[in-house]
Structure 1
Amino acid sequence: MAQEKHDLQLEDVQDYTSDYPPDYPGAEGAETKRRGLLCGLIMGNKKMTCLLALVFILVIAIVTILVVGADENAIEGFHQPLIIIDPSTLDASVTGPLMASLLAMYDRNGMDSTPLDPSSGDDTPQRRAFFWLAHENQNLDHSTKMARYALAVFYYSTNQVPTEFDEEPETWYVARRWLTKASYCEWHGIVCDAQGRVEALEMDRNFLTGVLPIELRILEDTLYSIDIADNGISMSEENFDVFLNLVNLEEFFGDNNYLEYSEGLPPQMASLVNLEQLTMSYNLLGGDLSVDNVIPAMGQLTHIEMEANYFSGPIPDYIGAMEDLVYFYMRRNNFNGDLSFLESGAMTTLFAMWLDGNDLTGNIPAQIGSLQNLASLSISNTKLSGPIPAEMGDLLKLRRVWLYDNQLTGDIPLALQKLDKLEVLELHNNNMSGSMPQGICDIFSGVDYDFKALTTDCNGAVACSRSCCTKCY
C-alpha cells in the first residue's frame, strides 16, 4: 500500500513554502499566505544568514575546485561550451561498424533512425552523439556502449537547443564529466544501480532546453526516475513519444518547463503504468481531465502535483476512487464543478489535498470525514458554500486547514474541538456566523508552532476573542 511507502511529514509537503509568483500563468492576484520556516529565520537574522550563505558558497567553491581540479577528465566550471566532434577526424574503420551496430539497435527497438542518417545533416543530436561515440572509441561491451550513446543523445537534445521560449539558450549549468571517458555513473546527475546501469536522471535546475529524446528507451529496463524540474524543456504532441516505452518509470518530475498539451495529459503518458509520483506544475497543460484516460491507466500513483496549469472541467470522479493516493495538489487551474469526487469515501490514504484558486462551487461533502489520514487541507479562494460539515471533526490527524476566501455559511462546528493536532485553521472571508468554539481556542493555546494561525471574520459576524484568534478579519 502507498501509505506504507511514505514517511508522511508535513514539512516535506510544501506547507511552509511561499505561493507561486503572482505573474505566473493562472496565479493572477494570488496572496502569499504561507511562509516557510527557513524564510522566517532569514528575515529575522539577515546578517547572520548572509554570513552563513557566504561561508557556504566559499566552501562549495573550494570543494568544487579540489574535486574538479584533481581530475584531468573532469569538465571544469559552469556553462561549459558544447562538445562537438568534427566528423572529418573520425576513422572509417570505427564509424562503419559503429553505425551498423546503432542501426541494428534502432531496428530492434522499433525506433526511427532517420535522424541518424547522413541525409538529416550532421547537427542532429543523434549524429552528434554518433560522432562523439566514434571519437571516444573505447573497448566497451555492447550494452554500455548503447547506454553511453543514449545519454549522449540526451546531452545534445537538451543542451543549448533553441526553442520558441528561449531562442538563445545557454549551455547546461553543470556538465561535470559528461562526454568524458569516465563511467557515465560519474557524470553529473546520473544515478546508477549496483550493476552500473542507469536508474535515474537528476537534471533539475540545470538550464536544459529542447526535448527528451526517444533514445531514452534504450535505458528503459532500469530507468525509474527522471527529474527535469525547473528547466526550459519544450515538448508537445509527438515529443511525448519518449514516454511510450518507459514502462518502469516510477517518478517523473517535470515542474516549471514548457510541457504543452491542450486535451488533458499527453496520451503517450498512459504507458507509464508503474508511475507513482507525477509532478508537472508550472507548465502549459490544459483541457478536461474528466474525459482523460491517462491518469486511470497509472494505477500505482500516490502523488499527483499539477498546479498552475490550465486544466478545466470538473475534478474527475476517478480521482475519488484512487485508494492509494497520498498527495493531491491541483491549485490554480481552471477547474469548475464541485467536490463530488470526494463522495466515494475511498481516499482513505490521502495525506494532503490542495485545490485553491479554482472555480469550485457547492458544499463540502460530509464524506470528507472518511479521509482518516488527512493532515493538510487547503481549498481557499474558491466559491464553496454551505456549512462546514461536522464530519470534519472525525479527521483526527488534521493539522492544517485553509478554507478562507469562500462563501461558507453557518456556525463553526463544535465537532472541530476533537482535532487536537490543529496548528492552522484559517476560516476568514466567508459568510459564517456564531462564535469560535472554546475547545478550539483551548487547542491553540497549547500549540507550540511559530506559524500557528486561527482566523475568522471576528471583526464582523463571528465572535472570537483576541486571546483566541491569532488575527481577526
Structure 2
Amino acid sequence: MLFYLLSLFFFLSPSPQPVHSLNQEAQTLLRVKLALSDPNRALSTWTNRSDSPCNNWFGVECDPTTRRVNSLDLSNSNLAGPFPSQLCNLTSLAHLSLSNNFISAALPAAALRRCAALRRLDLSENLLVGPLPAALPRLLPNLIHLDLSGNNFSGDVPPSFAAFPALRRLSLVDNLLDGPLPAFLSNVTTLTQLNLSYNPFRLGELPPEFGNLTNLRVMWLAGCNLVGSVPDSVSQLGNLVDLDLSNNGLTGRIPEAIAGLGSVVQIELYNNSLDGELPGNLANLTKLRRFDVSSNRLVGRIPEGLCELELESLNLYENGFEGELPGSIARSRNLVELRLFGNRLRGELPSELGRNSELRMIDVSMNRFSGRIPGGLRVWELGEVAVEEQFAFRGGSAGVWGLPRVYLLELMGNEFTGGISMEIGKASNLSVLLISNNKFSGRIPDEIGSLDAMVEFSAADNRLTGSIPPALVKLVQLGRLDLRRNKLSGEIPSGVRRLRNLNELILSDNEFTGGIPAELGSLPALNYLDLSNNQFSGEIPVELQNLKLNQFNFSNNRLFGQVPPLYDVQVYRDSLVGNPGLCGNLLGPCSTRDESKSWSYLWFLRSIFILAALVLVLGSLWFYLKYRSIKKGDCNNDLPSKWTLTSFHKLGFSEYDILDCLDEDNVIGSGASGKVYKAVLSNGETVAVKKLKGGIPGKEDGNGVVEKGRVADDDGFEAEVITLGKIRHKNIVKLLCCCTTRDSKLLIYEYMPNGSLADLLHSKKGGLLDWPTRYKIAVDAAEGLSYLHHDCVPPIVHRDVKSNNILLDEEFGAKVADFGVAKAVDQVGQGAKTMSVIAGSCGYIAPERHIQLRRGNSRACDRKAPDRSEYGEKDLVKWVSITLNQKEIDHIIDPNLGSYHKEEICKVLNIGLLCTNPVPTNRPSMRNVVKLLLEAHVENKPKNAKDTKDSKLSSTCHQEGTLDQESMV
C-alpha cells in the first residue's frame, strides 16, 4: 500500500525542470567572476543559464572547431582585485587582456605556469606592483605580445627577459623601473616594437646593441634618463618607422647615420641637449612625415633637403637655427604644422607658403624675419598664427584678418602697417588677438564686435585712431582689453557693464575724453584699471569702490572733486597725481568760495567732534581693560594682553571687537590648528575668525575659513599673510586682517554664509546645487586660480584645491580658500626650495610631486583625487576614464542633474580630464581652463554645421578617457 502511494505521488508530482550542465571552462570563469569586484556588472552575462561560455558571454571568444575558450578581453571593465589565477585553467587561452582596470597586488608568477598557451598578454593601465616576474620567458614561451604599461612595477628589468624566444612587442611604459636600461633586450631579435618610455632608469647611454634589433619598427625610449650621444648603430634599424628619444639628456650631434633609417616616418628628439647642425643628408629619409627636434641646442641653417620632403609636421622651435627658411618648404603639399619660434631665422617667409598645403598651425615668432606675411596665407585654414617679436616684419597683413578657423592671432612686435581690416568679422573662431608693438593705424572696425569668442584683445603701442567702437561691448567673454599708447579718442562707450568677465582694462596714454563711467563699478571681475595720461574729466565715481582692484591708475587727467574714501589713502597717491582738481585727505581739502566763509566754524565743529570721539575711545578702552581683568572664561584666559593688528582693508572694527566674540558658543569648527569662530560684531558685520595655537596649524575641516600649513616661523608667517592680504579678486576669499601675539594668531576673513562646496555636495542641501549653479562655481573657482597663477606677482600655486576649499557666498558665488600650503613661485630660480616638501591633501596634489618629488615647480598641480568606497580606495580619474570607455556616462553624472544639461556637462567633464592628463606639460594653464569653460557653455554653439564638426570641445563625452590637447587649446 505504501509502495502504491509513493508511486502515485511520483507520477502526480510535476516533472523537474531541465538543468544545464556547466562545462569545466564555464565553472572556471564563474570562479573568476566571484574573485573580482564588478561594480558595473560587466560580467552579468556570465551565468549558469548557459552550459558553455561560448554562448555570448561578455569578452569571451572560442575556437570554432574545439569550442574551447581561446580569447578573453575584459579591458575597460572597471574590474578590481588581484590577478585571477584561475584563468590559467583555460588551457587553450591564447589572448588575455585585462587592460584599464584595477587589478592590483603583485603578478603571481606561479599561477602563470599553467598559462603556457598564451601568445598575447595585456595587463596595461592597472595597479600591479612589485618586481617584474623573472620567470615569465620560461613560463610563457609562446608569448609574442606583452604589455605591462601603466602599472607600478619597480626594480630592474630581469636579464631573463632576453630569453623570450618569439616576443615581437614589449611595452613597459610608465612604470617605476629604476635599474639600468636593459641593453640585453637586443638579444630578442624578433622584436618589432620596444616601448620603455617614462621609467626612471639609471642614467646611461643609448645601448649601441639596440642596432641588432633589425626587425624593429617602433622604438620608444622617451623619458628614460638617456645621456651621451646617439650611436651610429641606429642606422642598422632599416625597418624602423617610429623613433622617439625625446625628453632625455642626449648630447652631441645628430649622427649622419640617422639617414640610414630608410623606412622612418616619425622622428622625435625634442627636449634634449643635442647640438651642432642638422645632418645634410636628411633628404634620404624619403618617407619622413613628422620631424621634431625642438628644445635642443642645434645651430646652423635648416637643410634644404629636409624641407623638400613631404612633411606633415616640422617642429624646430627653441634652438639656434640661422639663415633663411628654405623656399622648398612652400612646395610641401602635406604640411599641417610648422613651428619655428625661438630661433635666429631671418629673411622673408616663402611667398607660396601654405598655398598648396593644408597648413593649420604656424608659429614663427621670436625670430628675425622681415618682409611681408606671404599671400598664400589667405587660403590657410589655420588654428593658430604667431609671428610675435620679429624684429623687422613689415608691411601689410591683409591676408590674416578673415581666417575662419584661427583662434589665436599673434602679430606682436613687428613693423606691420595698415589697419585692422573689416575682414576680421569673418574670423568667427578668434579668441585671442595680439597685435601690440606694430605700426597699425586707422580705426578699430565695428566688425570686431561680432567675435563672440574673443577673450583677449591687445593692440598697445600702435597708431590707432578714432574711438572705441560701441559694438565692442558685445564681447561678453572679453577678459583683457589693452589699447595703451595709441591715438584713440572719444569716450568709453556706454553699455560697458555687459563686459562682466573683463579682468583688465588698460587705456592709458591716449586722448580719451569725457567722464569715467560709473557702470565700470559693476564689473565683478575687474582688478586692473589704467586710465592714466588721457583727458578724462569729472569726478571719480564712488561706484568704483565696489571693485576689487589690485591695481589702478587715474593719474594725469582732468579729474576733479572728492576722491572716494576707499582710494583716499597713501598707497594710491601716485595713481591720482596730475589731476589738479582732485581733493581729499591726500591731495588737500576740498574748499570753494562759499565754503571758505564758514571754514573756521566747520573746523571748530570738527575739533569738538574729534575731541569727543577721543574721549569716547579712551573711555571705552579703559572700561574694556577693566572688564577683561575681572572676566573669567576659557575664551580670553589664554590670550595675552598685547595684540598687534595688521589690516589689509579698511576696517570698521578693532581687535577688541574680535576678542569679545571668541566665546565657545560661537565655535563653528575646530581642528588640529585651533578653533574657528563666527563673529557677529557690534557694527553688525559678520566675519570668520580662525584662532591658531602652537604655531603649527593643522588641517581645516571645511567650515568656511581658510589657511593651513606651517606658521611656526614668524617671519615666514607674516610674509605669507602679507602676500595674501594684498590679493584683490572676486573669487579669492578676502583676508581682512590678522591679530598676533607671541603665542597666538588670529586670522580674520570675510564670512561665507553657504560654507564650503563639500558641505553642500555631501549633505541634504545638495539639491540646491543644480547644474547652472555648479557650472558657475567651476568657472568662479577657475578664475580665482587663474588670477593666482597668472596675475599675482609673484604667482601663487595653491596645491590643495578641493571642494572643502571652495567657499560659497550668499549667492553661491565661489571663492578659493585655504592658502596654508600655497607657495609663491619665485621667478628668479629659488622656487624649487620652497616647493621641495610635500604639501596639500593626498590625492589633490599632482602625483608626480607626491611620488617622485621631481625638480622644479608647476602650476598644473591639482589633478586627481582618491575615492574611498566599498571597493577600496580608487583613482577617480582612472575610474572616469574607464567608465567613459564603456560609454557609461550616466554612471558618472550625478542623477540629480537630469539630462537637460548633459551636453554641457560632458564638455566640462572633458575639460576636467584634460586637466588631469598624466603628462604635466599637456595640462592646460588655468588661463586656458577659464577660456575652455566659458566656451563649453551651450550658448556658445558654433554657427553652422561645419563649425559643429570642427568644434574644439566635443558635444559628447570623450570615449577614451583622455583628450587630444591640440583639439582643445
Q: Name the residue aligned to 1:156.
A: 34
Match of 2:320 among 439, 456, 460: 460
Alpha-carbon distance in structure 1 between the residues aligned to 2:50 and 2:174 = 42
Q: Name the residue aligned to 2:123.
A: 254
1:263-282 pair list within 5 angstroms: 263-265=131-133, 267=135, 270-282=138-150
Closer, same or farther in 2 for the Cα pair 1:462/1:287, shift >3 Å?
farther
1:322-350 CA distance string (max 9 Å, x none): 21110111111112343443336311110
Tell me whether 1:346 sits opposite 2:230 in the alignment: no
1:288-299 pair list within 5 angstroms: 288-289=156-157, 292-299=158-165
Q: Name the residue aligned to 1:413.
A: 279
Q: Name the residue aligned to 2:41.
A: 172
Task: Output the amino acid matched with 2:283.
Answer: Q
- After TM superposition, the score normalised by the length of structure 2 is 0.31
1:63-92 CA distance string (max 9 Å, x none): xxxxxxxxxxxxxxxxxxxxxxxxxxxxxx
1:96-245 pair list within 5 angstroms: 138-139=20-21, 145-160=23-38, 170-185=39-54, 186-194=56-64, 195-220=66-91, 222-236=92-106, 239-245=108-114
Match of 2:195 among 316, 322, 329: 329
Task: Output the amino acid matched with 1:205.
Answer: N
Q: Name the residue aligned to 1:359.
A: 225
Closer, same or farther in 2 for the Cα pair 1:155/1:349, shift >3 Å?
same
Contact 2:122/2:148 (CA < 8 Å) preserved in 1?
yes
Higher Cα Rg, which structure: 2
Closer, same or farther in 2 for the Cα pair 1:433/1:265, shift >3 Å?
farther
Contact 1:456/1:464 (CA < 8 Å) preserved in 2?
no
Tell me whether 1:284 sits opposite 2:152 in the alignment: yes
Closer, same or farther in 2 for the Cα pair 1:433/1:201, shift >3 Å?
same
Task: Output the amino acid matched with 2:49.
Answer: T
Contact 2:241/2:264 (CA < 8 Å) preserved in 1?
yes
1:401-428 CA distance string (max 9 Å, x none): 1101101111100121100111111111
- Structure with greater helix percent: 1
1:152-197 CA distance string (max 9 Å, x none): 111111234xxxxxxxxx2433533544325211211111002110
Closer, same or farther in 2 for the Cα pair 1:466/1:175, shift >3 Å?
farther
3-state secondary structure, aligned to 1:229: coil
3-state secondary structure, aligned to 2:82: coil
Task: Output the amino acid matched with 1:258.
Answer: L
Contact 2:316/2:339 (CA < 8 Å) preserved in 1?
yes
Task: Output the amino acid matched with 2:72.
Answer: L
Q: Name the residue aligned to 1:127.
A: none
3-state secondary structure, aligned to 2:177: strand
Task: Output the amino acid matched with 1:226.
Answer: L
1:128-153 CA distance string (max 9 Å, x none): xxxxxxx995346xxxx221221111
Q: Name the residue aligned to 1:317.
A: 183
- After TM superposition, the score normalised by the length of structure 1 is 0.62
Match of 1:399 among 261, 265, 289: 265
1:280-304 CA distance string (max 9 Å, x none): 1110101111xx1442232211001
1:224-272 CA distance string (max 9 Å, x none): 01010011111316x44321221110001111111111x3445456411
Closer, same or farther in 2 for the Cα pair 1:344/1:328, shift >3 Å?
closer
Closer, same or farther in 2 for the Cα pair 1:382/1:405, shift >3 Å?
same
Closer, same or farther in 2 for the Cα pair 1:383/1:465, shift >3 Å?
same
Length, aligned pairs only: 315
Closer, same or farther in 2 for the Cα pair 1:336/1:136, shift >3 Å?
farther
1:9-158 pair list within 5 angstroms: 138-139=20-21, 145-158=23-36
Contact 2:295/2:318 (CA < 8 Å) preserved in 1?
no
Q: Name the residue aligned to 1:45.
A: none
Closer, same or farther in 2 for the Cα pair 1:136/1:429, shift >3 Å?
farther
Contact 1:391/1:415 (CA < 8 Å) preserved in 2?
no
3-state secondary structure, aligned to 1:150: helix
Alpha-carbon distance in structure 1 between the residues aligned to 2:68 and 2:292 = 49
3-state secondary structure, aligned to 1:336: coil
Closer, same or farther in 2 for the Cα pair 1:229/1:464, shift >3 Å?
farther
Offset, 1:203: 0.5
Contact 2:61/2:72 (CA < 8 Å) preserved in 1?
yes
Alpha-carbon distance in structure 2 between the residues aligned to 1:279 and 1:327 = 11
Alpha-carbon distance in structure 1 between the residues aligned to 2:299 and 2:26 = 66
Structure 1 runs (4+) deviating above 6 angstroms are none
Tell me whether 1:425 sits opposite 2:291 in the alignment: yes
Alpha-carbon distance in structure 1 between the residues aligned to 2:125 and 2:18 = 35
Closer, same or farther in 2 for the Cα pair 1:224/1:462, shift >3 Å?
farther
Closer, same or farther in 2 for the Cα pair 1:389/1:378, shift >3 Å?
same
Contact 1:243/1:269 (CA < 8 Å) preserved in 2?
no
Q: Name the residue aligned to 1:372.
A: 238
Task: Output the amino acid matched with 2:123.
Answer: G
Q: Which runs of 5+ in 1 are unaligned?
A: 1-134, 161-169
Q: Name the residue aligned to 1:104.
A: none
Closer, same or farther in 2 for the Cα pair 1:230/1:248, shift >3 Å?
same
Closer, same or farther in 2 for the Cα pair 1:309/1:284, shift >3 Å?
same
Alpha-carbon distance in structure 1 between the residues aligned to 2:209 and 2:74 = 40
Alpha-carbon distance in structure 1 between the residues aligned to 2:102 and 2:18 = 29
Contact 1:301/1:324 (CA < 8 Å) preserved in 2?
yes
Closer, same or farther in 2 for the Cα pair 1:330/1:338, shift >3 Å?
same
Alpha-carbon distance in structure 1 between the residues aligned to 2:134 and 2:188 = 20
Contact 1:307/1:330 (CA < 8 Å) preserved in 2?
yes
1:415-467 CA distance string (max 9 Å, x none): 21100111111111111111111011111xx44xxxx2112247734446286
Alpha-carbon distance in structure 1 between the residues aligned to 2:306 and 2:90 = 54
Determine which structure has greater relative contact order: mean sequence separation of CA pairs < 8 Å that are 6+ residues apart, divided by chain length: 1
Contact 2:155/2:177 (CA < 8 Å) preserved in 1?
yes
Offset, 1:278: 0.6
Alpha-carbon distance in structure 2 between the residues aligned to 1:313 and 1:212 = 25
Contact 2:62/2:68 (CA < 8 Å) preserved in 1?
yes
Alpha-carbon distance in structure 2 between the residues aligned to 1:329 and 1:294 = 18
> Identity of counterpart residues, as a percentage?
25
Measured on the aligned residues, the alpha-carbon RMSD in Å equals 2.3
Contact 1:331/1:356 (CA < 8 Å) preserved in 2?
yes
